[in-house]
Amino acid sequence: MIVAVASGKGGTGKTTVATSLALAAGREVRLLDCDVEEPNCHLFLETGPATVETVGLPVPVVDPELCNACGICGDVCQFNAIAVLPEGAMVFPTLCHGCGACTWLCPEGAIREETRPLGEVSTARVGSVELLTGRLTVGEALAPPVVREVRRRGDGAGLVIVDAPPGTSCPVMASLRGADVVLLVTEPTPFGLHDLTLAVEVVRRLGIPFGVVVNRAGCGDDRVQDYCRDEGIPILLEIPQDRRIAEAYARGRPLVEAFPEWRGPFAGLLEALARLARNGDQAPAGNVRVGGAP
Amino acid sequence: MKVAVTAERADWDAPVDPRFGRAMAFVIVDTESRTLEMIDNAAGRDAVQGAGIQAATAICRAGAKALLTGHCGPKAFSALAAGGVTVYTGVTGTVAEAVDRLERGELAAAAASDVAGHWA
């Protein structure tokens, strides 16, 4: 089962939930940190040594001897990464998304591909948790290829937990695609609600069953709960606004390790997610609380 | 010689568009015959990225040897340089005034782009 932990708004507690879910699973789990622009799961897990591998994108290199400036590569490029000038084709690698169409279609065989490094994937272990961390090189703009590489390496049999980036853009899509169930983490504030509604729109369009975790419950109002009830979205867990939880977080301690009484609710959350993944759209409507504050 | 000027329409009195990649259009001026030809820049204007590169390609294909515009980024500049187009940035006024200043030798060719690029 692939569980993706996502949110519209940043800073709602995706990593808190993802790491605690992994630690409370009580079995072998792969945790994929797909927030490649600022991965942080590793801050909460004291893993052993990591193996690091470079992730790249195949970009075209034009042989000026063979190029006759026919223009096919420039016409087919959807990202304006190739300027075909009278003297030949000129490639702008930072704009290339690596689709390979130019290489495939060049009638002169003048294009070959070279790997342009974009970031890295590191793999490390702590107990029953194998952590895969994607990291986009600072200054690079293309996060999805790094996310896809983390998923390609981490997806598979057994339990997989994906810590997605915030928002609703391409890196989020790459993180959610293929997930069996999505957990949307939000907070009961106007911003939390607004961005939750955007995330709900995305997950519904992707057709993946989903539920909500309300973090910092009690810090705002009831509008998130009202919205979920009206939309038939199950709230699977509420984590209260509690200074002690914030203090543990600030020290890099996972919630279920700082407060072992939360192991039960998180194990229950995992079971609820498994039921949602199995039943898909037949998920019960309304607020279904499998675990409240212990 | 053909000279490209960023502007809204093929009119000697049209103001120079300060943008290059996302200019409304390019006016190709034939300095011998004194005729104007317009190349629409819908592809560049609405491009998600690489507008300057698209625009540079269009200018080169039109056979222009000089470009008069407001600003030009690094990718467009290198494409234009590779295509043998001399770039003049900081150009203001109308199409007629810009071409007039070029012909009187009052414009200095840009040695490099004058604004930062996007997307790294």
Q: Which two tokens stand for residue B85?
A: 């187009």
Please check the confidence at residue A292 and state whether its pLDDT lies above 50.
no
Please check the confidence at residue B43 and state whether its pLDDT lies above 60.
yes
Q: Which two tokens stand for residue A202?
A: 């995305």
pLDDT for A144 equals 96
Q: Which amino acid is at A73?
A: C
Average pLDDT, rounded, for chain A: 94
Average pLDDT, rounded, for chain B: 94
The mean per-residue pLDDT over the stretch B49-70 comes to: 94
What number of other Cβ atoms are within 10 A of residue B117's Cβ? 15
**Confidence band of B119 (pLDDT split at 50, 70, 90):** low
Question: Rounded to an integer, what is the distance from CA A107 to the centroid of its chain?
Answer: 39
Please check the confidence at residue A149 and state whether its pLDDT lies above 50.
yes
Helix (H) or strand (E) holding A212: strand A210-217
Question: Rounded to an integer, what is the distance from CA B6 to the centroid of its chain?
Answer: 5
The torsion angles phi and psi of A155, rounded to 5 degrees, stand at: -65, 160
Cβ distance A92 to B54 less than 8 Å, yes or no, reads: no
pLDDT for B45 equals 87
**Rounded-to-integer distance, Cα A294 and Cα A238, Å:** 10
User: How many Å lie between the alpha carbon of B13 and the closest alpha carbon of chain A?
Assistant: 30
- Which chain A residue shows the shortest CA-CA distance from B63? A86
pLDDT for B117 equals 82
Report pLDDT digits (tens) over A164-189.
999 999 999 999 999 999 999 999 99
pLDDT for A201 equals 96
Cβ distance B79 to A140 less than 8 Å, yes or no, reads: no
Residue to test with chain B: of A67, A82, A85, A137, most B Cβ within 10 A: A85
What is the predicted ipTM?
0.86
Cβ distance A81 to B82 less than 8 Å, yes or no, reads: no
pLDDT for A283 equals 46
Q: How many CB pairs under 8 A join A and B?
A: 52
Residue to test with chain A: of B2, B20, B49, most A Cβ within 10 A: B49
Q: Which two tokens stand for residue B31?
A: 């300095």
User: How many Å lie between the alpha carbon of A68 and the closest alpha carbon of chain B?
Assistant: 14
Please check the confidence at residue A205 and state whether its pLDDT lies above 80.
yes
**Confidence band of B69 (pLDDT split at 50, 70, 90):** very high
**Confidence band of A128 (pLDDT split at 50, 70, 90):** very high
Cβ distance B57 to A141 less than 8 Å, yes or no, reads: no
**Confidence band of A290 (pLDDT split at 50, 70, 90):** very low
SS3 A186: strand
Distances (CA, A) of B86 to A143, A213, B77: 36, 59, 9
Distances (CA, A) of A207 to A3, A76, A214, A277, A280: 14, 31, 22, 11, 9
Question: Rounded to an integer, what is the distance from CA A10 to the centroid of its chain?
Answer: 12
Query: Could you tell me what percentage of chain B is helix, strand and coil, using 3-state DSSP and rounding each to the nearest 5?
Result: 30, 20, 50
CB contact B78 to A (< 8 Å): yes
Q: Which two tokens stand for residue A20?
A: 């605690």
The mean per-residue pLDDT over the stretch A94-100 comes to: 94
Query: Which residues share a beta bridge with A184?
Result: A6, A212
Please check the confidence at residue A68 and state whether its pLDDT lies above 70.
yes
pLDDT for A288 equals 44
User: How many Å lie between the alpha carbon of A140 and the closest alpha carbon of chain B?
Assistant: 6
The mean per-residue pLDDT over the stretch A144-150 comes to: 97
B44 vs A209, which has greater pLDDT? A209
Residue to test with chain B: of A79, A87, A92, most B Cβ within 10 A: A92
Closest-CA residue to A22 (of A280, A267, A278, A292) = A267
